[in-house]
Structure 1
Amino acid sequence: MDLSIAREGAIAIITVNATRIDASTAIQFKDEMRSATAEAGDHIVLDLGQVEFIDSSGLGAIVAAMKQLGPGRKLDLAALTPDVDKVFRLTRMDTVFDIHGSLDSVGERAAV
């Protein structure tokens, strides 16, 4: 699983450079997220703009990544493609995560 990390002020943006997060990549995703978030600060945004497919294993891996952050740290999601957005809404995970339409809207909300 290829993840890249960038900083936008106090926000760490982790971009998933893959089209799928599924059963075959979920464990690797969790491991990469653990490494990527270790020194990432308290506010992390996961950019899912390139992810076209996510299954229950992928969804579980994202939830696990959020839980491993611990108290006082936050994981938001951004730029969900329509199919990925649908999975989050159908499973009601849109009530667990703050979901931003784009990376630009993350900075706007943080400034408010």
Structure 2
Amino acid sequence: MDFKVEKFEDVAVIHVFLIRATLAKAVKFREFVNETIDNGTVKLIVDLSMCEYVDSTFLGAIVSLFKRVNSLNGDLRLVYNKEAPSLMFVLTRMDKVFKTFQNIDEAIQSYGVNRPPKLNWK
């Protein structure tokens, strides 16, 4: 499983379980997220925290999804490790276009939604 969606009220967090987000997975990623949008969710967070590298094709898929949700009065925000940002984000200045966050909790709260507390099993 490369992608997983997790819902918090009207916000969908799309987890990307890829070390390298490249052309090989960009089409499937776009289809996966478009299905979430088609189901009525236009407040999205794409969790790239596991990705060490994002290529231009995958970035293009994110940009096209960003444009689509904006046209539907939604937004797309990113979670990624800013300490090791993808060179592609910096070169294309996309790190200035997207609202980015260090962790999922901050991104969810930016929509005014609180993430339920995690259960601690003892």
Please state which band the TM-score falls in when normalised by the shorter chain: 0.7 to 0.9
Matched to 1:108, the amino acid is Q
Q: Distance in 2 between matches of 1:42 and 1:33?
A: 10
Shift in Å, 1:46: 0.5
Instruction: Choose 1 or 2 for highest CA Rg.
Output: 2
* Structure 1: runs of 5 or more not aligned: none
Structure 2 residues not aligned, in runs of 5+: 114-122
* CA deviation string 1:13-70 (max 9, x = no partner): 1101222221222222211221133225231101111111111111111111212323
TM alignment of 1:42-61, pairs within 5 A: 42-61=42-61
When residues 79 and 108 of structure 1 are mapped into structure 2, their CA distance, relative to the original with a 3 A threshold, is: same
Report the TM-score when normalising by structure 1: 0.82
Closer/same/farther in 2, CA of residues 27 and 108 from structure 1, 3 Å limit: closer
| Residue 89 (structure 2) aligns with | 88
The alignment partner of 1:25 has SS state of helix
Q: Runs of at least 4 residues of structure 1 off by over 3 A?
A: none
Aligned residues: 111
SS of equivalent to 2:39: coil
Q: Is the 8 A contact 1:12 1:40 kept in 2?
A: no
1:76 counterpart residue number: 77
Kindly report the root-mean-square deviation, in angstroms, between the aligned alpha carbons of the 2 structures. Answer: 2.1
**How far is the alpha carbon of 1:72 from its aligned partner?**
0.1
Pairing 1:61-72 to 2, within 5 Å after superposition: 61-69=61-69, 70-72=71-73
